Amino acid sequence: MSLYEIMKWVFIICICSLIVNGIIYFNTGNGAQLLSIFGALGLGVIAGITMLKTRKK
């Protein structure tokens, strides 16, 4: 399994986490969920940048 495939799956998991945490945050208004949203967003950005750098040309 290449680094690109690993980062692709990390990115997909981050998007799913972002959606679930967003739904929970909007239903409860809990500040801890907002922190989880920012964490998933940051990890998703890092995974996306790594995917762009390691893609096959």
Tokens found for residue 44: 């998703």
pLDDT value, residue 36: 87
What is the pLDDT tens value at each position of the chain, 57 positions in all?
A: 888 899 999 999 999 999 999 999 999 988 888 888 899 999 999 999 988 898 876
| Torsion region of 30: left, alpha or beta (phi above 0 gives left; psi -120 to 50 gives alpha) | beta
Mean pLDDT of the chain: 89
Domains of the chain, residue spans: 3-54
Maximum pairwise Cα distance, the chain = 44
pLDDT value, residue 9: 93
